[in-house]
Amino acid sequence: MAVLTLEGVAKSYRTHLSLRKYWILKDLSFEVHPGEIFGFIGTNGAGKTTTIKLVLGLLFPDAGRIRLCGDDPSRPEARRRVGFLPENPYFHDYLTGWEFLDFHARLHGFRQPERRRRVGELLERVGLKNRADRALRLYSKGMLQRIGLAQALLHDPDVVILDEPMSGLDPIGRRDVRDLILELKRRGRTVFFSTHILSDTETICDRVGMLVRGRLAAIGSVEDLVRGDVGSWEVTLAWPGPGSPPVGEVLSRRDDRILLRIGSQADLHRLVGSLNGGGARLVAVTPARRSLEDLLVQEVRGSADAAGERRP
């Protein structure tokens, strides 16, 4: 059974004194399966945070049905086994790190000495044990993200929902978050996270959902999404002569080696056909697959064109 199901979910909002509805999400349907890392990608304003708020019962859908751990997200029971880290962690900054985690452990119903044990463990795990008695308003962005992760993992949840967990972090912070997500997967937990940092998504996600202007533009494994989408080829030739090959864009030239970019299969055939003497020979052909970023850019542009908008 899926840990998270969305069926035909739509969400709109109205500005003050306006009768016009602005649609943030339209007909959104997908599932997240147990034990997988699901990346929810999209540009800013695509509706990722709105989707997460709907999933957690912070907002209510205009249409459609959401099931979190088999229950309606507005019921507390649905959120019992869920950990959540919001985008740009906004916490009670008058609390110290220890007080903050202790408060959240109380909300999960932990009593002493279990509470003290868990808080200590989590502070150790996120590397904040030495800063536990410092007020959160004195924490850096990275430290806030880490204490936020600690509160999300306090009760060892089965499902972890992270909203932009890597945004604003330095490379080391991003790597720590990435390692933590992978560790959760190793322990059989389900991770659902939104991001617009696509390089991380490609390396750690089992599946990806791509949100473009409130609609699910694509869903599947990273390999499935970019499979067969070979946009070009990089060809290395041994080319002893002075001139250039008849097709392709020369990317680099060193000694007798030329690195070319070939844009189409027909050009590739022409190039191979032209290598019939003069010492020229084929050394390597590497298909340059499209990245998730290429796919996202294409989907966003396609969506903008369909909406009749001008692109810069």
Partner 1 sequence: MTGRILAIALNTFREAIRNRILYLLLVFAVALILCAQTLSLLTVGSEEKIIKDFGLATIDLFGVLTAVLMGIGLVSREIERRTVYVLLAKPIHRAEFVLGKYAGLVLTLLVNTAIMALCFVLLLLAKGIFDPGILLAIALLFLQFLLITAIAVLFSCLSNPIVSCILTLALYAVGHLLWSFDLLRARLAAPWARALCAGLQRLLPDLAPFDVKGQVVHGIPLPPGTVAYAFVYLALYGGAVLALACAAFQRKEMQ
Binding site for partner 1 (CB under 8 A): 13, 53, 56-60, 76-77, 79-80, 82, 84, 86, 88-92, 94-95, 99, 103-104, 106-109, 148, 151, 161
Find the shortest distance in angstroms from Cβ 157 to partner 1.
Answer: 10
Return the number of the residue (161 or 300) whose C-beta is nearest partner 1. Answer: 161
Work out how close the CB of 59 gets to partner 1 at its nearest, in angstroms, rounded to a whole number.
5
Of 111 and 254, which CB lies nearer to partner 1 in the complex structure?
111
Nearer to partner 1, 95 or 297 (CB): 95
Minimum CB separation from partner 1 for residue 84, in Å?
4
Minimum separation from the CB atom of position 303 to partner 1 (A): 24
Q: Is 151 left (phi over 0), alpha (psi -120 to 50) or beta?
A: alpha
Cβ nearer to partner 1, comparing 21 with 253? 21
CB nearer to partner 1: give 53 or 129: 53
Residues facing residue 234 across a β-bridge: 261, 286
CB of 115 to partner 1, least distance (A): 10
Residue with smaller CB distance to partner 1, 151 or 201: 151
Supply angle C-alpha 88, 94, 98, rounded to 5: 85
Q: How far is the CB of 251 from partner 1 (least distance, A)?
A: 48
